[in-house]
Amino acid sequence: MLEVEHLDVDYRGVVAVEDVSFRITPGQMIGIIGPNGAGKSTLVKAILGLIPVANGIIRFRNGLIKKQLNAIAYVPQRTQVDWDYPITVLSVVMMARTARTGWFRQPNRKSKEIVKFALERVGMWEFRSRQIGELSGGQQQRVFLARALAQQADLFFFDEPFVGIDRTTEDIMFDVFHELKREGKILILITHDLGETLTKCDSLLLLNKHIIADGSIKEVATTENLQRAYGNNLLFLNREHKSA
């Protein structure tokens, strides 16, 4: 179980996340939704200890999350990754293993098998020698998904995984999410998008600095709640979805 209690995060005194509390049990996928700038990425980075928190408690399996980072996989927002960095697909996924076995040790046979299996799972094994920067958005996203799988984590964070990807990638991602849930993993999915993605989550957290609503999609995705979170952008979002 992941528990977040009364979390506050600010950037140099400017509040980005305010009094956020929630909990997730194994085998569940929760969607964190809210407009751009709502603090979704900030919330996740704070949970992972990548940025400091002003207040709050984060517990994972009754312990401090900081001591269990090996059990946590994080797929950052694509815009926050440097795609010009020269590295092959295989190396990106292998990084998930070296973090476990030690940076200066050669990957063992088991690690190689796990990496191959992960890349095959997302249909990217044939691309293993390619530079990551040469791939399409969807292919890059699948490589990062493979890296998360190779890490054999128990808690997964995906920040805006559906931005700029193709249908094949989306299908593969949902297949994998479904499998991970069946294995009892915890999945946290961040999206600013109000599409059908939401119907696939077990519960939703609607965020705009603080929590505007949480619970089932029926409870959360009411016009009133969405209007409070998205304001005047809501009309535009609705129209976008009908035409999509």
Ligand X SMILES: Nc1ncnc2c1ncn2[C@@H]1O[C@H](COP(=O)(O)OP(=O)(O)O)[C@@H](O)[C@H]1O
By beta-carbon proximity to ligand X, the closer residue of 31 and 39 is 39
For 147-216, list the strands marked E by DSSP: 155-159, 186-191, 203-208, 210-215
Kindly report each contact of residues 14-21 with a partner whose C-beta sits within 8 Å and lies 24 or more positions away, as own/partner: 15/209, 16/42, 16/209, 17/42, 17/43, 17/46, 17/207, 17/209, 17/210, 18/209, 18/210, 19/210, 19/211, 20/56, 20/207, 20/210, 20/211, 21/211
Q: Which of 16, 20, 173, 211 binds ligand X (CB under 6 A)?
A: 16
Residues 24-43 that bind Mg ion (CB under 5 A): 40-41
Is residue 139 a contact point for Mg ion (CB under 5 A)?
A: no
Q: How far is the CB of 229 from ligand X (least distance, A)?
A: 11
Is residue 191 a contact point for Mg ion (CB under 5 A)?
A: no
Within 8 A by CB and 6+ apart from 165, the residues are 137, 138, 141, 173
Give the up-direction half-sphere exposure of residue 144: CA atoms within 13 A in the CB hemisphere.
28
Is residue 208 a contact point for Mg ion (CB under 5 A)?
A: no
Stretch that binds ligand X, among 35-43, 54-62, 117-125, 217-225 (CB under 6 A): 35-43
Is residue 85 a contact point for ligand X (CB under 6 A)?
A: no
Is residue 36 a contact point for ligand X (CB under 6 A)?
A: yes
Q: How far is the CB of 13 from ligand X (least distance, A)?
A: 10
Stretch that binds ligand X, among 37-45, 65-73, 97-105, 216-224 (CB under 6 A): 37-45
Which residues make up the interface to ligand X (CB under 6 A)? 11, 16, 34, 36-42
Which residues make up the interface to Mg ion (CB under 5 A)? 40-41
